[in-house]
């Protein structure tokens, strides 16, 4: 397998999950600013949408969208318990978390990265994000991870998007449960391995 990624982008989540899975994979740097691979290939010829992550399977099949990719990876190694079994209520709850992080948090941060976003609109964006993060903080009360005391593929996604907060001026230091969750995640060897590879840890 090949994971196309850009350092610190949402592709960090499947990068972490791949390390958690123990599966063999190659990393392919696909910078979101240049869209040019290290060998000079135009990334748009691989993913016409131009964004990461993209997972290329050994048979050449390509999977896009982080929530789909992380579930695919989890299903390849069921013994690792990275996701509940398909068809269960717990799996639907996992998918609910992945959808929430994708639409409410990930996309909520997007305008703050866009230099074209009007300055007077950004406070509204931040207010909405903070309301969603307040809810997440409440959901994490008394839990180790989003699904309870068991790590799942939703956790690296939440860890990844909350990494963006200080980069765009969003102060999440007041969320004690999120902070504790982030500390637990940062201590996981798979998280450290992925971040080190991406140059996010020395």
Can you say how many angstroms the Cα of residue 168 is from the centroid of all Cα atoms in its chain?
Answer: 17
Give dist(CA 172, CA 105) in Å, integer: 13
Taking only the tens place, the pLDDT of each residue in 22-34 is 999 999 999 999 9
Give dist(CA 131, CA 1) in Å, integer: 38
What pLDDT does 138 receive?
A: 98
What pLDDT does 173 receive?
A: 95
Nearest by Cα to 162 from 192, 138, 129, 201: 129
Could you give the strand order of the β-sheet that contains 54-56, starting from the edge strand earlier in sequence? 26-29, 2-5, 54-56, 62-64
Residue 133 contacts residue 64 (beta carbons within 8 Å): no
Q: Is the bond leading into 197 cis (omega within 30 degrees of zero)?
A: no
The H or E element containing residue 35 is: none
State the distance between the two ends of the chain, measured CA to CA, in whole angstroms: 26
- Name, in order, each residue with C-beta under 8 angstroms of 202's C-beta and a sequence gap of 6 or more: 196
Domain boundaries, the chain: 2-81+190-197, 89-188
Residue 167 contacts residue 127 (beta carbons within 8 Å): no
Taking only the tens place, the pLDDT of each residue in 141-156 is 999 999 999 999 999 9
Say whether 89-188 and 2-81+190-197 share the same fold.
Answer: no
Residue 195 confidence class, pLDDT cut points 50, 70, 90: very high
Pairing mode, if any, of strands 2-5 and 62-64?
Answer: unpaired
What pLDDT does 134 receive?
A: 98
Domain at 2-81+190-197: CATH code: 3.40.30.10
Give dist(CA 122, CA 119) in Å, integer: 5
Residue 3 contacts residue 55 (beta carbons within 8 Å): yes
DSSP string, 144-192: SBTTBSS--THHHHHHHHHHTGGGGT---TT-HHHHHHHHHHHTSHHHH
Domain at 89-188: CATH code: 1.20.1050.10
Q: What percent of the chain has pLDDT over 90?
A: 98
What pLDDT does 99 receive?
A: 98
Residue 202 confidence class, pLDDT cut points 50, 70, 90: confident
What pLDDT does 71 receive?
A: 98
Q: What is the mean pLDDT of residues 158-182?
A: 97
pTM: 0.96
Taking only the tens place, the pLDDT of each residue in 54-112 is 999 999 999 999 999 999 999 999 999 999 999 999 999 999 999 999 999 999 999 99
Residue 8 confidence class, pLDDT cut points 50, 70, 90: very high
């Amino acid at each position: 397998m090949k994971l196309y990624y850009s350092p610190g982008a949402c592709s960090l989540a499947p990068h972490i999950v791949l390390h958690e899975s123990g599966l063999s994979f190659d990393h392919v740097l696909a910078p979101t600013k240049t869209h040019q691979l290290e060998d000079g290939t135009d990334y748009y010829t691989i993913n016409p949408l131009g964004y990461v992550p993209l997972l290329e399977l050994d048979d050449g099949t390509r999977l896009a969208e982080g929530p789909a990719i992380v579930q695919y990876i989890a299903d390849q190694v069921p013994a690792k318990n990275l996701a509940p079994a398909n068809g269960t209520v717990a799996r639907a709850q996992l998918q609910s978390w992945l959808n929430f992080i994708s639409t409410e948090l990930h996309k909520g941060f997007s305008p703050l990265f866009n230099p074209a976003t009007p300055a007077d609109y950004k406070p509204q964006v931040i207010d909405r994000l903070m309301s969603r993060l307040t809810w997440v903080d409440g959901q994490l009360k008394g839990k180790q991870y989003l699904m309870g005391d068991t790590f799942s593929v939703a956790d690296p996604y939440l860890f990844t998007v909350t990494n963006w907060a200080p980069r765009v001026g969003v102060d999440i230091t007041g969320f004690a449960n999120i902070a504790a969750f982030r500390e637990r995640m940062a201590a996981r060897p798979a998280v450290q391995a992925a971040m080190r590879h991406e140059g996010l840890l020395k």
